Chains A and B, each alone.
Chain A
Amino acid sequence: DAGVTQSPTHLIKTRGQQVTLRCSPKSGHDTVSWYQQALGQGPQFIFQYYEEEERQRGNFPDRFSGHQFPNYSSELNVNALLLGDSALYLCASSLSYGLTSSTDTQYFGPGTRLTVL
Chain B
Amino acid sequence: DAKTTQPTSMDCAEGRAANLPCNHSTISGNEYVYWYRQIHSQGPQYIIHGLKNNETNEMASLIITEDRKSSTLILPHATLRDTAVYYCIVRVPPDSYNNNDMRFGAGTRLTVKP
Contact = CB atoms under 8 A, between A and B. Distances in A.
Contact of B45 (A56, A88, A108): A108
A108 B99 contact: no
B69 to A, nearest CB: 19
A102 B102 contact: no
Interface stretch (B15-23, B60-68, B87-95): B87-95
Given A96-B94, A100-B93, A104-B94, A44 B104 contact: yes
B101 interface: yes
Nearest to B105: A42
Consensus secondary structure, chain B interface: loop
A42 B107 contact: yes
Interface string B90-114: 0001111111111111110000000
A55 B102 CA distance: 14
A113 to B, nearest CB: 8
A109 interface: yes
Given A42-B87, A97-B94, A31 B100 contact: yes
Contacts of B36: 108
Contacts of B42: 110-111
Contact of B100 (A88, A106, A111): A106
Contact of B94 (A42, A90, A99, A113): A99
A35 to B, nearest CB: 8
Interface of B: 32, 34, 36, 41-46, 49, 51, 85, 87, 93-107
